[in-house]
Amino acid sequence: MTWVEISIAAGVFLTLRNALARTLSGRVSPVLISWARFAFNLPFSGPAVLMLMAASGVPQLSFAFYGYCFLTGITQILANIALVSAFQHTNFAQAIVLHKLEVLFTALCGLMFFAEYPSAFGWVGITASSLGVMLMNLGKEGGPAGWRRALHFDLGTLLAGACAIFLVFASFLLKEATTEFAALNPHFGTSRFEAAVHAVFHTTWMEVVMLTAYLWWLKREELQDITTHWRRMALIGATSFGGSICAFWSYSLTLVVYAKAVAQIEAVVAIGLALVLWREKEVWRQFPGTVLVIIGIGIILLG
């Protein structure tokens, strides 16, 4: 598989995860939904790491690797809480679409801080797909009439934007973790799959520890909701594991912004789910933006 197929798979998995999270929004707190995403990921990422170690041996890990995983965990937690909170203030498609502005933020952050330089084709595609996301903002209810709605930012929009910013930093920190793992363990080869699996596992258990401590000390009564919603939480964890593995793997194989741009297919899938599952008819107004996002992805792939 190439990074393109892996990025598309990541987008589909993450859409399913977010759709499941949306069904719990309003029933349990955003923090508990975030806890479920990570806690129910461990039954998948844990055995995956054990199988890899049984087949290839115990890898060498450094303090820097653990540090990158820890910082990735913090930014992912904040991103997930912001996104789930956005579901309470705007429709599902709108929240998913707007947090995809992370592609533009990723391009700028990579250029300034991480020496990632997209090609000319890449910049055209990034710009086109980001403009498509802004046009999708027309699909929301309320705000100014006409095209001015594309630039109107309400609380749901701002929360989705905050999610995007946190995800940008999480992605680059994660790539630093997989790069560190690969440098310490050259015998694993160049596929970077092992690096992605180990990074997912170590990031996830740290996230579970942090969120469990928070809930136990400050929101202990919310833990009772797990017995009611554990089946749906398990599905959130399973799709989160698939999305995390594919996303982490794709970041290690190409520029982070290219992987994220292709994963914008998530926004298109989200619109389909919004129409089918929640009858969010207003998303039809997002069709021009959807087309522009797809064109942008195509330009990036051509480049």
The pLDDT confidence band at residue 230, using thresholds 50, 70 and 90, is: very high
Instruction: Of 179, 233, 171, 227, give the one whose Cα is nearest residue 43.
Output: 233
In DSSP terms, which residues pair with 28 in a beta bridge? Answer: 25
Tens digits of per-residue pLDDT, 287-303? Answer: 677 777 778 777 777 76
SS in 3 state form for the chain? CCHHHHHHHHHHHHHHHHHHHHHHECCECHHHHHHHHHHCCHHHHHHHHHHHHHHHCCCCCCHHHHHHHHHHHHHHHHHHHHHHHHHCCCCHHHHHHHHCCHHHHHHHHHHHHCCCCCCHHHHHHHHHHHHHHHHHHHHCCCCCCHHHHHHCCCHHHHHHHHHHHHHHHHHHHHHHHHHHHHHHCHHHCCCCHHHHHHHHHHHHHHHHHHHHHHHHHHCHHHHHHHHHHHHHHHHHHHHHHHHHHHHHHHHHHCCHHHHHHHCCHHHHHHHHHHHHHCCCHHHHHHHHHHHHHHHHHHHHHHC
Q: Quick one: pLDDT at residue 240?
A: 92
pLDDT of residue 99: 65
What's the confidence (pLDDT) of residue 156?
A: 75
| Domain that includes residue 248, residue range | 3-302
Q: What whole-number distance in Å separates Cα of residue 65 and Cα of residue 127?
A: 33
> What's the pLDDT at 120?
82
Task: Please report, for residues 39, 156, 167, 272, the alpha-carbon distance to residue 90 in angstroms, rounded to integers and kept in the order given.
Answer: 26, 5, 19, 16
Choose between 197 and 276: higher pLDDT.
Answer: 197
Answer whether residue 142 shows pLDDT above 60.
Answer: no
pLDDT at 114 over 90: no
In the numeric block, which tokens belong to residue 178?
A: 């997989």
DSSP secondary-structure letter at 63?
Answer: H
Cβ atoms < 10 Å from Cβ of 73: 24
Q: Measured between alpha carbons, how far is 56 from 201 in angstroms, rounded to an integer?
A: 16
Total of domains in the chain: 1
Which comes out higher in pLDDT, residue 182 or 142?
182
Q: What is the pLDDT of residues 47-96, one digit of tens each?
A: 999 999 998 889 999 999 999 999 999 999 998 888 878 877 766 666 66
Taking alpha carbons only, the member of 41, 22, 23, 40 closest to residue 244 is 41
